[in-house]
Amino acid sequence: MQEKNIELTRAYQDLQAAQAKIIEKERLEQDLQVARRIQTSLLPRTLPLLEGYNFGVQMEPTRAVGGDLFEIISLDRDNVAILIGDVSDKGVPASLFVALTHSLFRAECTRYRLPTHVLHRVNRLLQDMNDEGMFVTVLYGVLNRIKGEFFYARASHELPLLFNNQGEMSIPALSQGQPLGILPKPNLDVKTIEIKPGGLLFLYTDGATDIRNQQGDFFGLKRLQACVRDHVRATAQMICDQVLQSLGDFQGDAPQADDVTLLAIKSQD
């Protein structure tokens, strides 16, 4: 009888421990959902209007919270600030760093007009608040509708893809660029590119090219370029929608390894 009681006591304790784990898991899931809503609230709810241009975005995180960020902010009637970035980690740590980086960019882009000034200022502030040694790759620039030019600074992010209205693509020459958050004064790749009438500027995070199918093949840059080219005559939002659909079709049932963010800027004919 005593052994029976001991077994029942152990079974009851195991049951209590299992219930506690279930409760803790549910609480964690609720916290992640709250974190996702907070992170989503930081993203633009509507895209700005700029005469002669339209914008499109798509974001697909791998977890409840992600490590990518983007922003499109009207600076004045003729200029729009555009940001896309990718934090070094995933999950909750990355989402916190994303929120910090996002807030800093929002503040600094209204204070400084030159992209290089904005990036160096954000980098310095990140260093002051970055005990974990995280970093973020960024492409940040200002689109001027009068000149039809995009003046940007790139901190180790993927190169932009530029298409004319016939679908002919060009990629800016690769120059040195270092991520933000680590070095006191990172090298930046600074360029000005012209978006001709009917042309398209396409920005993305490496989660797009790193998508794998069930056979382990990467989607890759060439497939991404071809996919964008196939839809170059569509609106910016339709292009992002179609590219995301193509990524999903290629991936199939394979797990998603990284967050995906797509951002398109389309000049009207």
> Considering the entire predicted model, what is its pTM?
0.85
Beta bridge partners of 85: 69, 138
Most confident of 9-18, 41-50, 259-268: 259-268
pLDDT digits (tens, 9 = 90+) for 81-124: 999 999 987 777 788 888 889 989 999 998 998 999 999 999 99
Does residue 32 register a pLDDT over 50?
no
Among the listed residues 84, 78, 80, 86, the one whose alpha carbon sits nearest the alpha carbon of residue 47? 80
pLDDT at 161: 98
- d(Cα 155, Cα 189) in Å, to the nearest integer? 7
For residues 14-28, average pLDDT: 55
Please count the other Cβ atoms lying within 10 Å of the Cβ belonging to residue 221. Answer: 16
Task: Give the confidence band of 24 by pLDDT, cuts at 50, 70, 90.
Answer: low
Looking at every residue in the chain, the average pLDDT score rounds to: 86
Q: Where are the domains of the chain?
A: 53-267
The CATH fold assigned to 53-267 is Phosphatase 2c; domain 1 (3.60.40)
* pLDDT tens digits along 132-165: 788 999 999 999 999 999 999 999 999 999 999 9
CA angle 204, 207, 208 (to 5 degrees): 60
Q: Are 165 and 233 in contact (CB under 8 A)?
A: yes
> For residue 216, is pLDDT > 60?
yes
**What stretches of the chain adopt beta strand conformation (E)?**
53-60, 68-74, 79-87, 136-144, 149-155, 161-163, 169-170, 189-194, 200-204, 260-267
Instruction: Give the max Cα distance, the chain.
Output: 90
